[in-house]
Amino acid sequence: PGARWSEGPVWFGDGRYLLWSDIPNNRMMRWVEETGEVSIFRSPSNNSNGNTRDKQGRLITCEHGTRRVTRTEYDGRITVLMDSFEGKRLNAPNDVVVHPDGHIWFTDPGYGILMNYEGHKAAFELPTCVYRLNPDTGEAKVMTDELEKPNGLCFSPDYSKLYIVDTGASHKPGHPLHILVYDVVDSARLKNSRMFCDMAPGSSDGIRCDVDGNVWASAGWGGEGYDGVHIFAPDGDLIGRIHLPEVCSNLCFGGVKRNRLFMTGSQ
Ligand code: MG
């Protein structure tokens, strides 16, 4: 479809379609399984990035351009869930997951305000945090601010662990390009951060766990033989790779049996 930077894939089993973001083109796209047709789902999308669904099936979206997290209601209206923290604007929410208890966990590395390509260049008002948001009350708490660029994130299948990608600062040498793992305490806090895997010489971006707890990590900026998807066992061992001819930004499982992997690329 001529995308410039695809991101945020999310599967809608009820409609048998995939949605994703094309950030620089300021639109969201839809692929329909039955026909294979690709069309525009939303334009403008406010430079949307990460997407997921809440436990009621509603679309949850990170927007760079408007620096907010939104929910799309069943009738199509868009509800702003969060656009600031303690009176300061969010940087540019990147990726998002929903816990079974309804809380929305998202990262705010601010790539959408670094330059105009993926949003609108602006000054950072907040540290690059991971937040946990109660969508009913609007209350949010910082889960961690220790990552340089918190990006993709996913829970383990039992929700006892949270994986977070740190994409560091523009892939400069010496900056962290690893995936961290945390223990989730009382579904509400993180503790015991440690390195899960080192993604050097490239970086991951978006990640998903499969039902066995393996971590499927998009991989890019490492060149041929590296770019694609790297799969890690729960102990961090690299157990497989999918090679792609370009950077992979993110991925999700879909299909009736959830055994189809959708990968968003740089085109
Ligand atoms: Mg991302």
pLDDT (tens digit per residue) in 51-101? 999 999 999 999 999 999 999 999 999 999 999 999 999 999 999 999 999
Compute the distance from residue 7 Cα to the ligand 1 centre, in Å: 7
Question: What are the pLDDT digits (tens) for 7-32?
Answer: 999 999 999 999 999 999 999 999 99
Q: Choose among 174, 175, 176, 178: nearest CA to 164.
A: 178
| pLDDT value, residue 171 | 57
Q: Choose among 166, 97, 96: nearest CA to 128.
A: 166
Confidence label for 169 from pLDDT (cuts 50, 70 and 90): low
CB-proximal residues (5 Å) to ion ligand 1: 94-95, 151, 205
Question: What are the pLDDT digits (tens) for 118-154?
Answer: 999 999 999 999 999 999 999 999 999 999 999 999 9
| pLDDT value, residue 215 | 98
Question: What are the pLDDT digits (tens) for 200-224?
Answer: 899 999 999 999 999 999 999 999 9
Compute the distance from residue 73 Cα to the ligand 1 centre, in Å: 23
Compute the distance from residue 239 Cα to the ligand 1 centre, in Å: 23
Compute the distance from residue 52 Cα to the ligand 1 centre, in Å: 12
